[in-house]
Structure 1
Amino acid sequence: MTSRIETRFAQCRAQQRAALVTFIMAGDPDAAISLDILKALPKSGADLIEVGMPFSDPMADGPAIQAAGLRAMHAGMTLNGVLRQVGEFRRHDADTPIVLMGYYNPIYVHGVEKFLIEAKAAGVDGLIVVDLPPEEDEELCLPALRAGLNFIRLATPTTDDNRLPAVLANTSGFVYYVSVTGVTGASRPDYSKVATAVRRIKAHTPLPVAVGFGVKDAAAAAEIALNADAVVVGSAIIDALARTLDSDKRGGPATVAAVSKLVTELAAGVASARR
Structure 2
Amino acid sequence: MSHTAHIPSHRKPRQRASKSALRAGVAGGVLSTIAVAGAAGPAQAEPVTQTIEMPTITTGLSTAVAASAQATQQVALDLETRAYEDAAAESAAKKAKKAQAEAVRKAEAKKKAEAKAEAAERAERASRTAERTTLSAPAGSSSGNSSSASAPSSSSSTATGSAGAIVAFAKAQVGDAYVSGGTGPNAWDCSGLVQAAYRTVDIDLPRVSQSQSTAGTQVSLDNLQPGDILYWGGAGSAYHVAIYVGGGEFVGAQNSSTGTVQRSMDYDRPSGAVRVL
Using the size of structure 1 for normalisation, the TM-score is 0.22
Q: Which entry has the higher C-alpha Rg, 1 or 2? A: 2
**Greater helix share, 1 or 2?**
2
Higher RCO structure (Cα 8 Å, ≥6 apart) = 1
